[in-house]
A and B are shown apart, each in its own frame.
Chain A
Amino acid sequence: MKRMWLAIVVAFGGLLGGAAFAQGVTLHISCGAVGTELQLCKEESQAWAQKTGNTVVVVSTPNSTSDRLALYQQQLSAQSSSIDIYQIDVTYPGILGSYFIDLSKYFSQSDLSPFIPALISNDQYEGKQVAIPWFNDAGVLYYRTDLLQKYGYSNPPTTWTELTQMAQKIQAGERANGNPKFWGYVWQGDSYEGLTCDALEWIYSFGGGTIVDPQGNITIDNPQAAEAINMAAGWVGTISPPGVLSYQEEDARGVWQAGNAAFMRNWPYAYSEGQSANSPIKGKFAIAVLPKADTPQGQHAATLGGWQLAVSRFSQHPAEAADLVKYLTSDSVEIDRAVKGSFLPSRLAVYDNAQVIQAHDFIHALKPVFSSAVARPSTATKDKYNQVSSAFWTAVHNVLAGQAQANQALAGLKQQLTRIKGAGW
């Protein structure tokens, strides 16, 4: 009996002592959901935890971006402190910005300057730096090197007109050669966020702006934008399959990777998928910057995607959380992630890093894409971004499906956006 009491006292003493000695804090980070992404995040945050004597718990989240947004909304609107660091999509700084702390307290100007400028300004909310870019995405053009060569082209198209002509010629040729399922160009035309990304690229490349400009003015109702959407509507059923109007990323990749398309617009993830061992097009394709319009205002455009790290305003340990964000977005971690998981770095210099080039030369090839990057207008439209985007993709989809004329649809869209804006964004 006496011995048992002793044991209990000793055990309690140990617990108390342990508590007194553990100085570090415990942080919860939501990053990744599956596979390499989750694994890398666990390894990296553990490395930071060991270095600093803190503890990090990785919270897994749903894989799809809209489900993740729903979860974050629930957590944040309930003012929960159970997640300190959120991995957020490129449109969330505008949507959820009021829930995150200003990181410029912890990041100086020189800390921020190595990041891609378009991303840094995307991650601002009412003048505050609410997130730090972590890894990227941008729309790119995939083209079949073997088919371009076969039909006498030495370079990928630089203008939409060239792309259309090349696609027509290759499509006609391949169909005559016995593949009736062959199409020139596949992209994302379903009525969803992906269409907003694709259509923003067309419009921006024609000099038609970004739907809503950074000052919050609605700019979508302009002739260049109408011209751009009309061009895309002309593709449907000619160089693009009619079903493109229901295609998301994976549907387009399904056509492309089976060898049934000459060109595809997609995100960089399709590169490693296309080069995988059992892919029919392995070694037969390359990527390029998306074409620009054939007009004087024409410019290349690539819609930005990707993920950022933000610290919740309800976090009990904001300083430590900011330090972990700093560590995860550091040069060495981004190089490691690029090499091990082919994640595109948010720091420009990493694209030229020798290790990265050696591991994945396509990452280096993507660098020019980011100099033409264009962000969706989520920073300007804030928590109304999803409404703006939904109205935009619905209007564009109507034109693509032949249910409306571009100039009328855009005039209607302008009215609708004005109503959503109300007294201000």
Chain B
Amino acid sequence: MQQTAIEAKRRRGGRGMSLERRRARTAWLFLAPSLIVILLVAGYPLFRTIQLSFTQTSLLQFPLKSHVVGFLNYKFLLQDSQWWHSVLNTVVFTVVSVGIETVLGLGIAMLVNAKFPGRGAMRTAMLIPWAIPTVVSAQMWRWMYNDVYGVINDIFMKLHLTDKAYAWLANPKLMMPAVISVDVWKTTPFMALLLLAGLQSIPGELYEAGRVDGANPWQNFVRVTLPLLRPALLVALIFRTLDALRVFDAIYVMTGTNPNTMSMAVYARQQLVDFGALGYGSAMSVGIFVIIGLFVVAYVVSLGVEVD
């Protein structure tokens, strides 16, 4: 009895379906669990954020008041000079820090790619800044930047690089460079690691061939290393750019909500958490999403990254 039922089911499911379609169905079945998980953990929050961005909702009132206001939050966002200022801050932070990190990271990667005694220990030690939690290192840097007891001023003055102590995190002109330096210190090792992996995949024979053909080291670098490193470099660049656009912890710990350095994420957090403005904060989050999306598109289009 039972057996015939299964048999019948199998016949219904199987008959009239080509092998290809059956395979496609199996593929979907295998994919379904991960798709459902992605839908739940990424899709639903995104959907809710977009939904909330069309409302005016305050978290701080009981009973919770929420009414639909259409595109009002987006209209405010476009007119909010503080928002545009924080977009500019974030873009400056991203371009400068990722630029410096790439150049330094490449240099360091080539250095530790060379064979020398203690290379393993060096590669491990290099990663320490990256391994320290950002909030911890940011607080550490905050103290090091202090104008009275900070070690940075002390070293600079002893080396006669500066003649007086600077207030690195208080002077509006020095704040952004100070914050970017910390990010460079922290993330260059990560960049170096990604690029080192790329360098190691370049076969040594190519350099030998280059030498035989009489190429000098610079020609070797430009003609052999760079082109072959391109895929790794692009991955590293995209990784770091998207990461830097979401910068929050380093800036939040070191300079808080100071308008001179406030990033998009810090501003959105202030609206969402401190002000309980769920609607406006959500519109801002959608704004961040769109801006990051634009960067991705720009990368894909301009650098011809293969999407597949």
Contact = CB atoms under 8 A, between A and B. Distances in A.
Interface in B257-308: 257-259, 270, 273-276
Contacts of A55: none
30 contacts: A66-B273, A66-B274, A69-B273, A73-B59, A76-B62, A98-B62, A181-B148, A191-B256, A192-B256, A192-B257, A241-B165, A242-B147, A242-B171, A243-B167, A244-B167, A244-B170, A245-B167, A245-B171, A246-B142, A246-B145, A246-B168, A254-B143, A254-B148, A254-B149, A255-B148, A260-B148, A313-B62, A383-B61, A397-B258, A401-B170
Given A69-B273, A189-B170, 8 more contacts: A73-B59, A243-B165, A243-B170, A246-B169, A254-B146, A387-B274, A394-B259, A397-B258
Contacts of B60: 73, 95-96, 98, 383
A99 interface: yes
B59 to A, nearest CB: 5
A77 B273 contact: no
B170 A260 contact: no
B107 interface: no
Contacts of B113: none
B70 interface: no
Interface in A281-329: 313
Interface in B51-74: 58-62, 64
B172 interface: yes
B273 A243 contact: no
A47 interface: no
Interface string B144-179: 011111000000000000000111111110000000
A82 interface: no
B255 interface: yes
A397 B64 CA distance: 34
Contacts of A244: 167, 170
A260 B148 CA distance: 8
Contacts of A99: 62
A246 B167 contact: yes
Contacts of A66: 273-274
A246 B167 CA distance: 8
B145 to A, nearest CB: 8
B276 A73 contact: yes
A251 B142 CA distance: 9
Interface string A38-77: 0000000000000000000000000000100110010011
B148 A243 contact: yes
A243 B257 contact: no
B180 to A, nearest CB: 16
A387 B59 CA distance: 14
B73 to A, nearest CB: 15
Contacts of A255: 146, 148-149
A283 B114 CA distance: 58
Nearest to B262: A191
Contact of A260 (B58, B149, B276): B149
Interface string A96-129: 1011000000000000000000000000000000
Instruction: Report the 5 A-B pairs with minimum CB-CB distance, sorted nearest first.
Output: A243-B147, A243-B167, A383-B60, A245-B170, A246-B170
B148 A241 contact: yes
A243 B62 contact: no
Given A66-B273, A386-B274, A77 B171 contact: no
A247 B147 CA distance: 10
Contacts, number: 99
A210 B44 CA distance: 44
A96 B166 CA distance: 41
Q: Is the interface of B mostly helix, strand, loop or mixed?
A: loop
A242 B172 contact: no
Contact of B257 (A70, A191, A247): A191
A401 B58 CA distance: 33
Interface in B10-45: none
A77 B148 contact: no
B169 A401 contact: no
B264 to A, nearest CB: 17
A251 B256 CA distance: 14
Contact of B147 (A73, A190, A241, A397): A241
Interface of A: 66, 69-70, 73, 76-77, 95-96, 98-99, 181, 183, 189-192, 241-247, 251, 254-255, 258, 260, 313, 383-384, 386-387, 390, 394, 397, 401, 403
B58 A243 contact: no
B305 to A, nearest CB: 38
Contacts of A242: 147, 166-167, 170-171
Contacts of A95: 60, 276
Contacts of A313: 62
B255 A246 contact: yes
Contacts of B256: 190-192
Contacts of B274: 66, 69, 386-387, 390
A161 to B, nearest CB: 25
A394 B62 CA distance: 29
A66 to B, nearest CB: 7
B115 to A, nearest CB: 45
Contacts of A190: 170, 256, 258
A76 B60 CA distance: 9
A77 B59 contact: yes
A251 B166 CA distance: 15
Contacts of A77: 59, 62, 64
A283 to B, nearest CB: 21
Nearest to A384: B275
A324 B10 CA distance: 66
B149 A387 contact: no
Contacts of B275: 384, 386-387, 390
Contacts of A189: 170
Nearest to B157: A180
A243 B270 contact: no
A251 B168 CA distance: 13
A189 B147 CA distance: 14
Nearest to B278: A77
A397 B273 CA distance: 22
Contacts of B64: 77
B160 to A, nearest CB: 15
Contacts of B276: 73, 95, 383, 386
Nearest to A250: B143
